[in-house]
Chains A and B, each alone.
Chain A
Amino acid sequence: MTAQLRPSLAACPACVAAPHGGAEQAPTEARLALSLPGIHCQACISTVERELNAHPGIHSARVNLTLKRALIEADPDVRAADLIPVLEQAGFEAHELDLAALAATQNDKAGRDLLMRLAVAFFASMNVMLLSISVWSGASDATRDMFHWISAAITFPAIIFSAQPFFANAWTALRVGRLNMDVPIVLALVLALVTSLWETFLSGEHAYFDAALTLTFFLLAGRYLDYRTRAVARSAAEELAALEVPRAIRLLDGDEYEVPVADLAIGDLILVRPGGRMPVDGEIVSGQSELDRSLLTGETLPVFAEPGLAVSAGEVNLTGPLTIRATAVGEDTSLHRMTDLVAIAESGRSRYTSLADSAAKLYAPGVHILSALAFAGWYFYTFDIRTALNIAAAVLIITCPCALGLAVPAVTTAASGRLFKKGMLIKHATALERLAEVDTVVFDKTGTLTAGTPEVINLGDHARADLEIALALAEGSSHPLSAALSRAAREAGIKPASVQAITEVPGYGAEGIFRGARVRLGRAAWVGAAQGSQTAAWLDSGAGEAKPFLYTDALRPGAAEAVAALKAAGTNVLLISGDTTGAVEDLAGRLGISKWVAEALPADKSARVQLLADQGKKVLMVGDGLNDTAALAAAHVSISPASALDAARVASDIVLLGQDLEPIAEACGVAQKATRRIRENFRIATLYNVIAVPLAIAGLATPLIAALAMSTSSITVSLNALRLR
């Protein structure tokens, strides 16, 4: 999508090598992409480009401000990991993007194609319109004929080029014996061209060349709007996927090699650093740590990990480095098996008929019958095939769904644009229409209503001396619970005690020496206490019983507001989580959700959503984990946050880009408004037809009337759609 992407350069090194064929050549150039979320001005562009171009091995770097990306061509040994610190030093946040995942948006061939056709239709219709206006304002005889001939010469090639998408769509529909909106369009275009040419040949008065071209132009404008809206959403969604570069560290004879996840094989030893995600299913060979399984199961309590434990792809390693031996890779991992569930659940959704489709179903046969009746009536009245055909063509052109073609895309573009500004990405074409029907909202807990970051709740229960020791120990560890504890203690104005020789014991906690006694902060069993049901870190201060610091999951910003607003709008709100009963009950109480289910397995979740659907409820599912994917796909419409696993984002119709959940409630409102506007637009389009069709059937329609009806109705529906902004 950037000026440097000449068509000859494919998106990945493999694609460049492929067409040349022959032996495998070592790539002479590497292409890298970086996401730069922080850039916003001209100075940022210059600084980033200067910094990158000054880096050894880089051939060229260009920033795309619209996409907030930098594309780099460099020597094959340059790695994105080397460039990120360079940019961070210059003050820019940078993340590596997986170019393979971005491939689809880079060569926006379909969009460009539509734009070219739109331009040709616009050019031709403007020229023909000039000639037609001269005819309408009184040109006659030879002059009129000449103008008609020139119009024909412009119109035929223009229509043949621009209207191809309609021809192709109509043909695919007709071949399987069905009718769609494109069939009457094509029929109207063909009939208009044929009768107009015939009329021109016979020096007739009325030619509909301008109508055929304006029709094509307006319809293409609708198509293009529709396409753009989805392309923007798709490129943003792909960027989210591309941010997770699928790489793993393979251990071979004690050396570490960074390899793509796709290259891993069963039996490989893989090193997973703290904070890293398991790339494949496997078994722990060495190392001790804790695992965060919340994305897979919804449990917030980290699991203790030691050699022998089986791990699944997608789990996050929290404290110590782990070496795992791969037992299942690629398609066989549990992550992939879950996506099969999604495929099954999704088949139900494709049954939804969009408003445009149901309108087309009523409309297409209607106009065909009307125009056929007009033809038959006039033929038997006058026995003149020329008059009858002219009137039939006029009926088809006037009823042609030019306003209908704009009615839906204009509204969805306006609504999606408004929601995009609020940080919502509408991925699916009919997502807004489905969202408008929602009467039940099902939330997941961990990572959706909660931020996934723990918060200390009983800081006040501890003596100041204990807090000082705890803070000193917590600062010696990078575990999320420690980080939360030190944040809370610092905020309360606690200073760390001078604990000596602090060491982190991966999987257990941190320990040190304070005034000659050993002090520990960590797992219950490690400090000699009984494990409770709540997330806790225990402090053994060297004197007396071990004391627990209890944690709760912090609410995601806007969660309370979103739930309150949904309830105020009369929507049924449910909470279904895989977490323990205590944690779910507590959260449901805090948010005022009366119906909740805890310890739900992934299959339970989708079964419950299905059950609600069978009761006639239209369910909106909001979730982020792998355990939610099947439910997301089974729901009438689904939303997932940007922090969700890729599989969950793919399964949902709408992605929330920001941290805040509040836009969900607003999105429902906007969706309802959008559907109302779409229906209004249908009514406006019908109204114009009700006025113009009798004129056409009575044989009173002229090309001028057709042009007026078409343009005014198209402009009215577009303006009506803009009211949504």
Chain B
Amino acid sequence: MSVLAYLIPISLILGTVGLAAFFYTVRSNQYDDPEGDSRRILNDEWDDKPKP
């Protein structure tokens, strides 16, 4: 049963990382334009180098 001592913290930490990532995306307005963002990947304007 000692395996639980690893597995439970690991599962909790992974979950918290996911939750923190979700918080970050909400806070940085990433759900404001879902439709536009899904189309912007087709934009070839900054294909060669990243936008400065």
Contacts and interface: CB of A to CB of B under 8 A. Distances in A.
A126 interface: yes
A127 B36 contact: no
- Per DSSP, are chain A's interface residues mostly helix, strand or loop, or mixed? helix
Given A42-B42, A42-B43, A130-B11, A64 B19 contact: no
A150 B12 CA distance: 10
Interface in A112-127: 112, 115-116, 119-120, 123, 126-127
A115 B42 CA distance: 29
A533 interface: no
Contacts of B6: none
B45 A46 contact: yes
Contacts of A45: 36, 39-40, 43
8 contacts: A1-B32, A45-B39, A64-B36, A66-B32, A115-B26, A119-B19, A126-B15, A131-B8
Contact of A119 (B23, B39, B43): B23
A3 B43 contact: no
Contacts of A30: none
Interface in B19-40: 19, 22-23, 26-30, 32-36, 39-40
A81 interface: no
Contacts of B43: 42, 45-46
A42 B11 contact: no
Contact of A127 (B11, B40, B42): B11
Contact of B29 (A5, A41, A46, A63): A5
A625 B19 CA distance: 50
Contacts of B28: 3
Interface in A30-52: 41-42, 45-46
A712 interface: no
Contact of B18 (A64, A112, A123): A123
B9 to A, nearest CB: 10
A63 B36 contact: yes
A150 B8 contact: yes
Contacts of B32: 1-3, 64, 66
Given A116-B23, A123-B19, A126-B15, A42 B33 contact: no
Interface in A69-125: 112, 115-116, 119-120, 123
A131 B8 CA distance: 9
Contacts of B29: 1-3, 5
B19 to A, nearest CB: 5
A164 interface: no
Interface of A: 1-3, 5, 41-42, 45-46, 63-67, 112, 115-116, 119-120, 123, 126-127, 130-131, 143, 150, 154
A65 B32 CA distance: 10
A41 B43 CA distance: 10
Contacts of A3: 28-30, 32-33
A252 to B, nearest CB: 42
A653 B43 CA distance: 40
B26 A66 contact: no
B26 A116 contact: yes
A66 B18 contact: no
B23 A66 contact: no
Closest 7 CB pairs of A and B: A65-B36, A42-B39, A42-B42, A64-B33, A66-B35, A1-B32, A65-B35
Given A5-B29, A123-B18, 19 more contacts: A2-B32, A3-B29, A41-B39, A42-B40, A42-B43, A45-B43, A63-B36, A65-B33, A65-B35, A66-B32, A66-B34, A67-B33, A115-B26, A116-B23, A116-B26, A119-B19, A119-B26, A123-B16, A123-B19
Nearest to A65: B36
A119 B36 contact: no
A120 B36 contact: no
Contacts of B27: 112
A464 B18 CA distance: 77
A612 B36 CA distance: 48
A46 B44 CA distance: 9
Contacts of A127: 11-12, 15
A112 B26 contact: yes
A115 B26 CA distance: 8
B18 A65 contact: no
A117 to B, nearest CB: 11
A498 to B, nearest CB: 52
B30 to A, nearest CB: 7
B36 A66 contact: yes
A667 to B, nearest CB: 25
A67 B31 CA distance: 12
B19 A120 contact: yes
